[in-house]
Structures are given as C-alpha cells and as structure tokens.
Amino acid sequence: SSPGTFSLVKPLGSGDYAVGLFNFAEKEMRASISFWDIGVSSAAGQKLSFYDCFMHGDAGTFTDSFCVKLGAHDCSVYIARPA
C-alpha cells in the first residue's frame, strides 16, 4: 500500500481471504495488496477471484496483485478465493 492507505488480510478457514483496504488520506488514493505478501505465488499459476462485499458482486480475477481506487477516508472489503 502507499502512504495514507492501509490493508488488512485475514486467512479464513475455508481457504479464502478476507481483505480490507482503507484510505486515511484527504484525497483519492490507490490501495493495493501484493499476492506474494500473503503467500500466493503467481509463479505457480495461482490467481485470486475477488468478491466485493459492499457492492455484492464479482470484482474480477487477478494475478500478482489487486489494486482499487478509494475516495478520501473510504474503505472497501472483499473476499478473495483461489480461482
């Protein structure tokens, strides 16, 4: 994550991950997580599919990292599962 942003990732018993991305800045920022940092290796061909818990919909399938724009003082929460 960049300065002003914060991310939390919690492995779940199902093998999924709970992901929270937070922007504490006074302006729109990009918040991201690197899959390597949570133990998911793209070299092994692993991808994660993200479900947006606030929008109640699929946010896409990603390799290596996940990045989202957040408004000032905004947050987003996802469930990421192996694709």
* Confidence band for 1, pLDDT divided at 50, 70 and 90: low
* Separation between Cα atoms, residue 21 and residue 11, nearest integer Å: 15
pLDDT at 62: 95
- CA-nearest of 68, 10, 3 to 39 is 10
pLDDT digits (tens, 9 = 90+) for 12-57: 999 999 999 999 999 999 999 999 888 887 767 789 999 999 999 9
pLDDT digits (tens, 9 = 90+) for 49-81: 999 999 999 999 999 999 999 999 999 999 999
- CA-nearest of 65, 56, 62 to 83 is 62
In sequence order, which residues have a C-beta less than 8 Å from that of residue 59 and are 6 or more positions away? Answer: 50, 51, 52, 68, 78
57-62/48-52 β-pairing: antiparallel
Residue 3 has pLDDT above 90, yes or no: no
